[in-house]
Structure 1
Amino acid sequence: MATTEQIYGTAEHSYSTLPETQVLNLAYADLVNIDLSKFDEPGGKEELARQLKDGVHSVGFFYVTNFGISQERVDKQFAIGKEFFDLPFEEKEPFAADHANGGYNGYTGRELKHFKEQDKVTPTYRGKNIEVYNIPKFTPQFDDFHSHHPSPIVKNWDEIKQFGKDVHTNVIEKLLVLFAIVLELKDENYFVSRHQYDEKSEDHLRYMKYKARSEEENAKATGLYTQGHTDLGSVTLLFRQPVLGLQVLAHDGTWHFVKPLAGSITVNIADTLDLLSGTYLKSSVHRVIAPQVDQAKFDRIGVLYFVRPNNHVLVKAVEDSPVLASEGLYEKVKDLPHETKPITIETWVKERQRHIFSQQERDRQESAGQGATAQGAERKDLEINVAGIPTKVWT
């Protein structure tokens, strides 16, 4: 694609001003919008939890607005991401994540040797246009990692650091309180206490790029940027993405777009919180497809934040939830391996990440994705077991 078309994400043209698609008659998911400005009002938390309850149990996706971080600061993060991805590959390669050992902080791109070797075994068109740069929390746990970053990160260090901390305080901690209220826990800080910023955990800020592809390239990838999947952690935050492509899988097996709501963060429940809630909080199956024709020329830049519990926390359902008891979920999960012999979050994350970047997973994805462009279906024959925890596979 011509570089003159990729003007969005700069100081002159903020990414939030990229024109939305004008294509009509698209199916959109009906998602609740949680206005966090109400959180500290009398009865505000309880009201928001009531609004949220059905969404996190049945859909697993929702919006957050009025979260206390200005659009100007969000735009700056998109600009930092674009500046990094615009670097020559030779300047990004030295910051590659340690994929072979389950690492994910740093740079991921299909031109890296690790992935080129996989391509020789299992050629694929999906994912070849994706680049990622992950930045872990700004805590002593990651001091060594933070001593080595590319220039766009280094020169914006203070802004990135404050942004990450504000996301945790202004958004994540409040959502964790709401989840505890939804489950009717006596301690509304139950999940907050297990997601302490200053304790060891694998949270990370992510800059992400889906490079625009030609019609021919999209056809080879069956129209997909990423196939159906669930996320690993507690929740994932996606700052408003104007290039339409994110879809959530509905109960009837059809895909619905997630509309880019102005001034919002799109939040989805992920696998770990699903497990900690005894499966009440639903980990959402989602995917990204190629943009509509009027947005096809644009690179899709993303700013995301992935939330995970502290490393010492056990992967085990919360106790004494009246909601889980009334739904019969304690009985449902009591004999599962991770309940009878729980493992730590640290072990779960490490083993899951190692599997994600393995050749086995690469082969599975290619098998699961054959012809899977219109409908979503659970593939029981491809269900995987990671560290004793069964993980569903979707096409």
Structure 2
Amino acid sequence: MAGLKKLYEPYSTTPETTEKLDWAELVNLDLSTFDQPGGKKALAKQLKYAVHNVGFFYVSNFGLTQEEVDYQFSIGKKIFDLPLSEKKKYGADTKSFSYNGYTGPAVKHHTDRLKLCHLADNIPKFTSHFPGKVAHPPPVQQNWDTIERFAKTVHHNVIERLLVIFALVLELEDEQYFVKRHDYETRGEDHLRYMLYTARDEDVNRDAQELYSTGHTDLGSITLLFRQPVAGLQVLNNDGKYRWVKPVPGTITVNIADTLSLLSGRYFKSSIHRVSVPPPDQRHLDRLGVLFFIRPNNDVLVEVVKDSPLLKREGVYETLEERKDPLTVGTWVRERQKHIFKNVYDITDAGKGKEGQERDELEAEVAGIRIKYWN
């Protein structure tokens, strides 16, 4: 660990923006209270409004030191500092619509729409279902055991606790309902992502409508974004305006994604969000990220949870349409990824996408489920 710290200043020390931005008001869950008497029920009560109406929130006191988090950002920086020719050796198998491995300008699906500013290295779960460290660049291989400990700590300390809280929000008798469907050792398409948005020239930013990533929802159950100081993430509020998500020190930003929303009969809100060019005093900086994309196990059926007193009171069961054919998460994920690679990444007109301007809606049916993309 000392070697990386000598090479790079901790990313967390990058100065935050001093611009006066329109920040979103998000609830912050203190996970250190989870195991206290009545703690998890109190957290569920605190979170209920956010998961139904906002779709974004923070968690804090999640059992990792700032040094451990900074180290992961240092690994990410070492990955993206490699020559492109070296990174390309570990490219994701996009022909089979897989995200695992390196994706970036060398991969044809990252089109001019993103102006070649988005780089990522995705690491799946540390199980026998995946090829392991040989599929990833040297900085990952050299830190494989450290990354594995980090990933499994996040799964236990954050993901499993949030899954219990979600079950309590729905008032399920079995608080382990979602935990069982996100078992770590069972095949699933979760992944840890090191991601980089590179700073661009002002004319390129204008051509891209001042966006690094257009409005969208995420595919899986939840997404975790470790706090990084360069502002850019924005969430679409119920009033139709995008607001900035503040990088609060010592937190992880969490958002609900499409699959968990479907399992809850869309009671949980999968919020539309985007990544903007940073504010003026930060737009010269690269934006480095460490994220987790969490999905149910591949054999889980995409069906609404049964016997939720809350969903019954809300009338959710009365409006459901039964599927003719069962759909597993594994099939759903593959079909969504196929659609994203073939359609979303190939859209060259990003639309307006700015506050106060007309937004284009893109709708499609994937595996019999209606989905919506916002530009």
Counting only pairs closer than 5 Å after superposition, residues 246-265 of structure 1 correspond to structure 2 as 246-265=233-252
Contact 2:30–2:61, Cα closer than 8 Å, also in 1? yes
Q: 1:355-394 counterparts in 2 under 5 A?
A: 355-358=339-342, 360-363=343-346, 365-367=347-349, 369-375=350-356, 379=360, 382-394=362-374
Residue aligned with 1:13, SS:
coil
In 1, Cα distance between the equivalents of 2:357 and 2:157? Answer: 35
The residue number in structure 1 matching 2:205 is: 218
Report the equivalent of 1:200: 187
- Number of the residue aligned with 1:87: 82
SS of corresponding position for 1:191: helix
- The residue type paired with residue 292 of structure 2 is Y
* 1:217-252 deviation line (CA, Å, top 9, x unaligned): 101111000000000000000000210010000111
* Mean CA deviation greater in 165-174 or 9-18: 9-18
Q: Which of 115, 120, 127 matches 2:109?
A: 115
The RMSD of aligned alpha carbons is 1.7
Matches within 5 A, 1:199-348: 199-335=186-322, 339-348=323-332
Q: CA deviation at 1:366?
A: 3.4
Confirm or deny: 8 A CA contact 2:191 2:293 kept in the other structure: yes
- Compared CA separation, residues 293 and 313, structure 1 to 2 (3 A): same
Seen in structure 2, the aligned counterparts of structure 1 residues 379 and 178 have a Cα distance that, compared at 3 Å, is same
Counterpart amino acid of 1:311? Answer: N
The yes-or-no answer on 1:146 pairing with 2:126 is no
* Contact 2:76/2:194, CA 8 A, preserved across alignment: yes
Aligned to 1:3: none
Deviation at 1:176, TM superposition (A): 0.1
Is the CA contact 1:105–1:136 (under 8 Å) kept in the aligned structure 2?
A: yes
Per-residue CA deviations over 1:96-123 (Å, capped at 9, x if unaligned) read 11112111100100223x337xx5xxxx
- 1:185 corresponds to which residue? 172
Please report the TM-score for the alignment, with normalisation by the length of structure 2: 0.96
Gaps of 5+ in 1: 1-7
Note closer, same or farther for the CA distance 1:82–1:12 as it changes in structure 2 (3 Å cut).
closer
- Change in CA separation of 1:59 and 1:13 when aligned onto 2, cut-off 3 Å: same
Structure (1 or 2) with the greater helix fraction: 1
**Contact kept in structure 2, 1:108 and 1:131, CA below 8 Å:** yes
The Cα of 1:63 is off from its aligned counterpart by 0.1
Give the letter aligned to residue 367 of structure 2. Answer: A
Task: Quote the Cα distance in structure 2 between the aligned partners of 1:376 and 1:278.
Answer: 31
Residues 121-173 of structure 1 show CA distances to partners (whole Å, capped at 9, x for unaligned) of xxx3425100000000000111x243332110111111001001101001000
Higher mean C-alpha displacement, 77-86 vs 341-350: 341-350
Distance in 1 separating the partners of 2:200 and 2:270: 30
Q: For the residues of structure 2 that align with 1:252 and 1:316, how far apart are their CA atoms?
A: 30
Contact 2:101/2:135 (8 A) holds in 1 = no
Alignment equivalent of 2:120, drawn from 108, 132, 144: 132
What whole-Å deviation, never above 9, does each CA across 1:178-219 have from its counterpart, x for those lacking one? 000000000000000000001110110000000011111101
| Residue pair 2:182, 2:297 contacting (<8 A) in 1 also | yes
Contact 1:314–1:344 (CA under 8 A) maintained in structure 2:
yes
For residue 41 of structure 1, the aligned residue among 19, 36, 41 is 36
Match of 2:337 among 335, 338, 353: 353
Which stretch of the first structure deviates more once superposed, 124-133 or 199-208? 124-133
Shift of residue 89 of structure 1? Answer: 0.2
- Match status 1:17 vs 2:13: yes
- For 2:91 and 2:50, the matched residues in 1 are separated by 37
TM-score (norm 1): 0.91
1:5 corresponds to which residue? none
